[in-house]
Amino acid sequence: MQVVKRTSRDRIERRIAFGDLFEALHLIEASQGRPGTVNTAFVERLDATLRTWLPALVRRSRHAGSDGERLERHFFLVLAAYNLIRPHRSLRVQVNGRWVDRTPGMAAGVTDHAWTVAELLRRRIEPCVQAA
């Protein structure tokens, strides 16, 4: 889905350039718990994070971004680290008067602790079988 945001004077115009409006509205309500507006800030934040962690996505980089298979492996490693290793301040919760940091994986109930890099790299993942 592609959202185009254009600012004109005191007004922000948002339109979906690619994708289904009803699907977008359903996803917004499911993720925010109520109807809302299409917000590009989340996508822009994700893009900035990915550009920081994946040098191949930066326009002028010495990193070889032409190898799609290598880029895909690097992307999944970054995705796993982002969700399982790195705590996010916005996801912390207060337990017995103390703030406890959580990763997105912990907040989603996928894991009960923040993983270490060694734990992530040692984890065996079965290959995905794609339907023909």
How many Å is the maximal CA-CA distance in the chain? 53
What is the predicted pLDDT for the residue at 85?
94
In the structure, what pLDDT confidence band is assigned to residue 35 with cuts at 50, 70 and 90? low
Q: What is the mean pLDDT of residues 73-101?
A: 91
Domain that holds residue 71: 66-131
Establish if 74 belongs to a structural domain.
yes
d(CA 101, CA 89): 7
CB 13, CB 22: distance < 8 Å? no
Torsion of CA 106, 109, 112, 114, to 10 degrees: -20
Please report, as a single letter, which amino acid is at residue 69.
E
What is the predicted pLDDT for the residue at 33?
63
Q: What is the mean pLDDT of residues 59-71?
A: 68
Please report, as a single letter, which amino acid is at residue 17.
A
Query: How many independent structural domains does the chain possess?
Result: 1
Establish if 7 belongs to a structural domain.
no
Whole-number percent of the chain with pLDDT over 70: 73
Establish if 93 belongs to a structural domain.
yes
- By DSSP bridging, strand 88-95 and strand 2-8 are unpaired
Q: What is the pTM of this model?
A: 0.62
Establish if 46 belongs to a structural domain.
no
Establish if 126 belongs to a structural domain.
yes
In the structure, what pLDDT confidence band is assigned to residue 93 with cuts at 50, 70 and 90? very high
Establish if 105 belongs to a structural domain.
yes
